[in-house]
Amino acid sequence: MDAKEARGEAPEKPVEDWQKRAPYKIHESNENFKARYEASCHCGRVKYQLSREEPLDSKLCHCTTCQTQHAAPFQWAAIFHKDDINFSNGHHDLEWYDPSSKSIEHKLPCKVRCSFCHSPIMDEGRNMILLFPSLVHLKNDEDKANFKPRCHMFYSQRVMDIPDGLPKWSGLNDSSELIEDSPPELVREHERKREQERKEKHEKEEKGEKDEKK
């Protein structure tokens, strides 16, 4: 029995490995973490800060997993490094879900939610985190512009059309086809890049064949 138990208080839960690592590791005050944004879940038990001015990317995902997981026609996510976030509350009061294996263990990549109100907090990947701007307190037009979605992905799985002129990828961005009302110059650029890649692959194969014959 530890001292706390002896006083009738709940024993401290053991600190697990993930709690000591980013994104859950608490930044010490001497680390110079500058909070640019504040965010919280619906019940307010989970709170976090962000230090990066602009997310690495911001996109709307129309895949059916996002539709189900967020109970919405599509999901709005912003990508950050794991070191860009500092949980200020409730960061050990979380629950996990891995949509590919349908398990609730903490193994990456997985979905992370508040264990009380079940608001989605983030998708934790192996190297990055996808945060949901709807939880971030965006105070003015500048904040909103920083988080503005830059593309749609898995648009082929959409339940509704969003004719906003943003690039629309049929699957993953940059590795599928640009469809619907994607900006024409971007579509041309994408096709040019694809053609170049095909050519290089072809040349490499030809060179490989020649080398084999030598």
Binding region for Zn ion (CB under 5 A): 41, 43, 45, 61, 63, 66, 114, 116-117
- Six token digits for residue 69: 């997981």
Smallest gap from Cβ 44 to Zn ion, in A, equals: 6
**CA atoms within 13 A of residue 131's CA, in its CB half-sphere:** 30
- How far apart CA 13 and CA 180 sit, in angstroms, is 52
What is the closest distance, in whole angstroms, from the C-beta atom of residue 62 to Zn ion in the complex?
Answer: 7
147 φ/ψ angles, rounded to the nearest 5 degrees: -95, 0
Give the closest residue to 129 by CA, choosing from 108, 158, 145, 106: 108
User: Is the Cβ of residue 61 or residue 122 nearer to Zn ion in the bound state?
Assistant: 61
The torsion region of residue 118 among left (phi > 0), alpha (psi -120 to 50) and beta comes to left
**Shortest gap between Cβ of 74 and Zn ion (angstroms)?**
8
Q: What is the DSSP letter of 98?
A: B
Residue 37 or 91: which CB sits closer to Zn ion?
91
Q: How far is the CB of 69 from Zn ion (least distance, A)?
A: 8
Q: Which is nearer to Zn ion, 35 or 117 (CB)?
A: 117
Closest CA to 23 of 180, 128, 152, 148: 128
Contact 18, 25 (CB under 8 A): no
> Which of 33, 116 has the CB closer to Zn ion?
116
* Least CB distance to Zn ion at residue 12 (A): 22
| Cβ distance to Zn ion smaller for residue 83 or 176 | 176
